Structure 1
Amino acid sequence: MKAARKSQKGQSWFSPTPTADSGDDAIDRLLARVRDRLGMAAVVICLDEDDHLHSQCRDGSMAACLGQGTLFASMARVGPKPLIVPDATLDPRFWLDPLVTRAPHIRFYAGIPLFAGADRPIGLLSFYDQRPRSAELATALTEMAGEVMAIAAQRRARQTIARLETSLRVRINELDALAGHVTSNLELFERASATARIGVWQCDLAGDVLHWTDGVYDMFDLPRGSQLSRAKTLSCYTETSRAALTQARSAAIQNRTGFDLDVEINTAKGNHRWIRITATLDCLKGEPVRIYGMKQDITEEKILADRTRYLAEFDLMTGLANRGQFQALIDKNQSGALMLIDLDGFKQINDRFGHHAGDECLKVVAQRLREACGEAQLVARIGGDEFAVLLAHGLAHDTASSLAAEIVRQLAGRFTLGDIELHPNASVGVAFANGQSPDDLFKLADTALYTAKAEGRNTFRIADNVAVPSIKAVG
């Protein structure tokens, strides 16, 4: 802005024209000059002694909004020091204020309590604008508040704001330079938030009144700006997530803390999403008044994590556990028995009919193992045509023998692939855990497996030379 200039009569831009106006008229004329010179959207004086509001606004809609009182003014009255908000869109206290998120879109606020020798302020001087302003303007505005108080008390507008001219000139120039920088940073923040799928939320604890930014509405597939109900919102959460959220929220309110939580929701359009919630509690005089924070859509992150975990633990072709998951469980020494299964003549299937037929054969074998070993701890593919089954503790030898026989019988069943008929037989070796190491247990089962192969295949054997008749699969 340009520096203040004198009129042809040598008057400052603050100087009121001599008039017979009442004191109220003088204040209103003064506010209009201050508003126009500073380029503010509105300048307001509220004097407690007569409960009268003096305001000068650019338009009637803003006057109507400010005339009802604002959150800015309420917070400015709490303490004796000025409240300066350079950019309300960057201040979490005002992110969800309707005056900020909707018309008139207030961004700058300065509130200076007015004192007249008393401990308690007798009024409040407020400045509102729709552009960000410099926090360094606080000193100049505080000085001006004292002068404005003199006008209100003594009706001497001529001497009031002239003292501010020099300091305001410097502050205004700095503000113009800072405004562009703040705007640029805000745009960068908004783009980053959209890219990261982040939204801001707030819940006023008195009445559980919710406020969301557009990003949160989008996560829940709700129309932006639509009426919110906490009960309706909670119904979108899965039962487990709803219970976890209720517990975390209650603990945060009770302990005056916050929380971080990942939850599942089903949106208004039926879309399943994962959301990360961060929460902070806001207290007034030690009592919780609101809880607010951010919500971030982490659905893709969860899908990637689940996919990575699946690849680390399961065999892609058959869907059975892979050798890594098998090894992790057997290393815990928690199994009661181990079965090793090897297909008989699998190489001939690959050589004669091709690898596609071999792959389909492995899938059929995996499915039949799942059906036969429904109560097993783990069914895994541990090699090309090698499979393993871990059984729980306390399993009787007869039960294990019956299961091994059933596996041999199930895997010997023929199946067709197009016009090809395949007969995947298998041999099984069984070893019972008896305090030995996982490696020794594996060696015992492996020895039993090769004994079964040596004795004709399509059968099973139990380690430790337990006498079990050879059982041939029907085929």
Structure 2
Amino acid sequence: MSLQDAEARRLYDQAMQLAGIGAWECELATQQLSWTPGVYDLFGLPRGSTLHRPSTVDLYTHDSRIEMERLRAAMIRSGKGFVLDARILTAGGISRWMRLSADITHRQGRPWRIYGAKQDITGEKQMWQGLRQLAYSDPLTGLANRRAFEAQLSELRRIPADGSALGTLALIDLDMFKPINDHLGHAAGDECLRQVALRLEATLSDAMTIARIGGDEFALLICSTAGWSHIVHRLNQALAALSLPVTWNGRLIEMSASIGATMLLPGRHHDPDRSFAEADSALYVAKASGRNRLHLFGEPLQGQPGDAMQGALADMRVLRAG
């Protein structure tokens, strides 16, 4: 049956409230805002209170405010509407995500009024963030996983040439990890992996990415303005931390690791596959030269001529293969 206007409006308002949606409009000549109750609720403002556009715009986070104003100006120029997912802080300081839909009407050929809807999508964003966390994190250690690491590495194809930051890709492999699993069981091995993650986070807390990319393999992306020697010092600190034993079920499990690293120079194009191959080659040299050490791609192992030659040959093999 057909609903009466009042009943239809009541049903519509209930649906809008359930979906967290409110309507809005802004008269361009006066900048006067009009909101339905849903928008007041979204921003945490008393329903019916006086609206002042600059004050409401201040409730957008910095990046969202800049993007919203850019899209708004483009809409006024072009006449084409837009949709934006924006972050706001309510009047009470609560962080929320809002889907802003906007369009424009004209009068006598001139932009006259913009209007649209604002919807609370905080729950949706949290759900997707949870799914992303599952997709991009390692469930055992809580670190980033290989997929997340490769995405981050791909974004570092070019480091700005302003000299402000030097990048480093480092790969870590635990020494003699298989016997731990074989002799003590996977529970012991899992505890060792968790401890490795905690130690890396503690010693390299400012790393861009710390990831577990395989069974006992970890990867680091570091950017620093302090120079190459500082990065090497930090990697040696991590190496020392990883050489400490792990306590499990009242016993000490001896641990050590090998690290291979390559430099990502500012202003240069970096092929992710080649950079990974360089770090992997350096890791191979570190393990073949006695384990529990750091090797830098293209550099000899200090004080060990035989290892230096071995390292150089290994690096050359990878470069030729690439």
Structure 1 length-normalised TM: 0.50
> CA deviation digits over 1:143-187, x for unaligned, max 9?
xxxxxxxxxxxxxxxxxxxxxxxxxxxxxxxxxx8x537677655
Shift of 1:276: 1.1
- The question of whether the paired residues in 1 share the 8 Å contact of 2:172 and 2:283 is answered with no
Partner Cα separation in structure 2 for residue 370 and residue 180 of structure 1? 62
CA distance in 1, matches of 2:170, 2:151: 16
Find the counterpart in structure 1 of residue 288 from structure 2.
Answer: 451
Per-residue CA deviations over 1:416-435 (Å, capped at 9, x if unaligned) read 56855454322334567998
Q: Does 1:247 align with 2:70?
A: yes
Aligned: 1:219 with 2:50: no
Give the counterpart of 2:144 among 294, 310, 321. Answer: 321
Match among 393, 405, 411 for residue 242 of structure 2: 411
In 2, the alpha carbon distance for the partners of 1:397 and 1:193 equals 57
- Aligned partner of 1:198 in structure 2 is 21
In 1, are the aligned partners of 2:172 and 2:217 still within 8 Å (CA)? Answer: yes
Aligned match of 1:297 in 120, 123, 131? 120
Q: Distance in 2 between matches of 1:346 and 1:440?
A: 22
| Aligned twin of 1:383 | 214
CA separation of 1:298 and 1:283: change in aligned 2, threshold 3 A: same
Which structure has the greater CA radius of gyration?
1
Cα distance change of structure 1 residues 230 and 345 upon mapping to structure 2, 3 Å threshold: same
1:261 counterpart SS class: strand
Cα distance change, pair 445–327 in 1 and its aligned pair in 2 (3 A): farther
Q: Does structure 2 retain, via aligned residues, the 8 Å contact 1:333–1:437?
A: no
1:286 maps to 109
Q: Helix, strand or coil: the match of 1:180?
A: coil
Which consecutive unaligned segments of at least 5 residues does structure 1 have? 1-176, 471-475
Could you say which residue in structure 2 is the equivalent of 1:164?
none
Q: Which amino acid aligns with 1:451?
A: A
Match of 2:302 in 1: 468
CA distance in 2, matches of 1:441, 1:235: 48
Q: Is the 8 A contact 1:462 1:468 kept in 2?
A: no
Cα 1:426–1:270 change in 2 (3 A) is: same
Q: Distance in 2 between matches of 1:257 and 1:427?
A: 57
- Residues 377, 281 of structure 1: CA spacing in aligned structure 2 closer, same or farther, 3 A cutoff? closer
Q: Which amino acid aligns with 1:388?
A: A
Higher relative contact order, chain-length normalized (CA < 8 Å, sep 6+): 2
> In 1, Cα distance between the equivalents of 2:93 and 2:232?
49
1:192–1:354 distance in 2 versus 1, CA, 3 Å:
farther
User: Structure 1 CA distance, aligned partners of 2:248 and 2:257?
Assistant: 19
Give me the whole-angstrom Cα distance separating, in 2, the residues matched to 1:401 and 1:225: 61
Counterpart-to-counterpart distance in 1, 2:303 and 2:235: 12
Paired AA for residue 42 in structure 2: M
Matched, 1:366 2:171: no
Shift of residue 467 of structure 1? 4.1
Q: Distance in 1 between matches of 2:134 and 2:222?
A: 24
Q: Quick one: distance in 2 between partners of 1:219 and 1:460?
A: 53
Cα deviation for residue 271 of structure 1 reads 1.6
Equivalences for 1:86-165 in 2 at 5 Å? none
Shift of 1:354: 6.2
CA distance 1:438–1:277, change in 2 (3 Å): same
Relative distance call for 1:295 and 1:342 in structure 2 (3 A) is same
Q: What does 1:347-358 correspond to in 2, within 5 Å?
A: 347=178, 349=180, 358=189
- 1: CA distance, partners of 2:257 / 2:17: 57
- Flag the 1:220–1:443 CA change in 2: closer, same or farther, 3 A: closer
Indicate the SS of the match to 1:407: helix
- CA shift, 1:341, in A, is 1.9
Partner of 2:30: 207
Q: Compute the displacement of 1:357 (Å).
A: 5.1
Q: Displacement of 1:200 after TM fit?
A: 0.7
Structure 2 SS opposite 1:247: helix
2:279·2:297 contact (CA, 8 Å) conserved in 1? no
- Structure 2 residue runs of 5 or longer lacking an equivalent are 160-166, 265-269, 305-322
1:228 alignment partner AA: L
In structure 2, distance between residues paired with 1:206 and 1:334: 45
Deviation at 1:215, TM superposition (A): 1.3
Aligned to 2:314: none
Equivalent residue, structure 1, for 2:278: 441
Counterparts in 2 of 1:327 and 1:209: CA distance versus 1, 3 Å: closer
Cα deviations by residue, 1:271-318 (Å, 9 ceiling, x for unpaired) = 210111112223322344332211111112222233333333332333
Using a 3 Å threshold, how does the CA distance of structure 1 residues 372 and 270 change in structure 2: closer, same or farther? closer
- RMSD over aligned Cα atoms: 4.1
> Does the CA-based 8 Å contact 1:370-1:379 persist in structure 2?
yes
Flag the 1:182–1:356 CA change in 2: closer, same or farther, 3 A.
farther
Q: Distance in 1 between matches of 2:158 and 2:206?
A: 15
